[in-house]
Chain A
Amino acid sequence: DTEVTQTPKHLVMGMTNKKSLKCEQHMGHRAMYWYKQKAKKPPELMFVYSYEKLSINESVPSRFSPECPNSSLLNLHLHALQPEDSALYLCASTKLGSTDTQYFGPGTRLTVL
């Protein structure tokens, strides 16, 4: 099984809402990633978890709050977002070791009104 799943597939939220994105993998990968992708652009790295600990925060605003409850699950909590945060949010995972393949989920298409 080389699948990374993400829910929901689509999300529309207002600027005062609180919502969460969920990502799950069962490949035994110990590194998990959140990316943001705007239209016609490559993915931009947001956060990296390694052994369930936050390793990297690429200067992401605090209205995005990641959480890694266990080695298979990664959440992204959203609060007080802005319309410019509308994008495709991708989750990915890897085994540890930089030559390995990064497996991506299908993404959550987020629209902030």
Chain B
Amino acid sequence: GNSVTQMEGPVTLSEEAFLTINCTYTATGYPSLFWYVQYPGEGLQLLLKATKADDKGSNKGFEATYRKETTSFHLEKGSVQVSDSAVYFCALSDHRWGIQGAQKLVFGQGTRLTINP
């Protein structure tokens, strides 16, 4: 079945450091890929997405490129801030699932990121 593997956390960085959170996936066909962020005490927010190979999603300084050849969707940011401290989830959308057009997300385990001033 489809699955997502994220680098294990927690990850602790200093402010202005470079961030990479690795994400690889296993899927049949061509899933869409997402990064969601969850701040403490809140629900999940979409950070960025890519719907086909070689697409780059970007938002708030974060970027990720859909690499079909390596089945990866690594999250990067050039200079992190304390406000980026959160849990980050990589996810894929299972296109086979299409029950009347609804969407099934397969999540990775999440990576807790802490940024120190």
A residues with CB within 8 A of B: 4, 6, 30-31, 33, 40-43, 45, 48, 50-51, 53, 55-56, 90, 92, 94, 96-107
What are 29 of the A-B contact pairs (CB < 8 Å)? Answer: A4-B43, A6-B43, A31-B101, A40-B110, A42-B108, A42-B110, A48-B102, A48-B104, A50-B99, A50-B102, A55-B99, A55-B102, A90-B43, A94-B102, A96-B101, A97-B101, A98-B32, A98-B97, A98-B102, A98-B103, A99-B32, A99-B49, A99-B51, A99-B93, A102-B34, A102-B46, A103-B46, A106-B43, A107-B43
Name B's A-contacting residues (CB within 8 A): 32, 34, 36, 42-46, 49, 51, 89, 93-95, 97-105, 107-110, 112
Distance to closest chain A CB from B4 (angstroms): 9
B105 — nearest CB in chain A belongs to which residue?
A102
Total cross-chain contacts (CB, 8 A): 79
Decide: B45 and A98 in contact? CB cutoff 8 A.
no
- Give chain B residues whose Cβ lies under 8 Å from the Cβ of A51: 100
Known: A98-B32, A105-B43, A106-B43. A41 touches B99 (CB 8 A): no
**Nearest chain A residue, comparing its CB with the CB of B91:** A42
> What residues on A are CB-neighbors of B97 within 8 Å?
98
Can you list the 4 inter-chain pairs with the closest CB atoms, starting with the nearest? A96-B101, A42-B107, A50-B100, A104-B43
Q: Is the CB of A96 within 8 A of B32?
A: no
Chain A residues closer than 8 Å to B109, beta-carbon distance: 41-42
Q: Which residue of B lies closest to A53 (CB)?
A: B100
Other than A55-B99, A98-B32, give 15 A-B pairs with Cβ distance below 8 A. A31-B100, A42-B110, A45-B105, A48-B102, A55-B100, A55-B102, A90-B43, A96-B100, A97-B103, A98-B103, A99-B49, A101-B34, A102-B34, A102-B46, A104-B44
How far is the CB of A90 from the nearest CB of chain B, in Å?
5
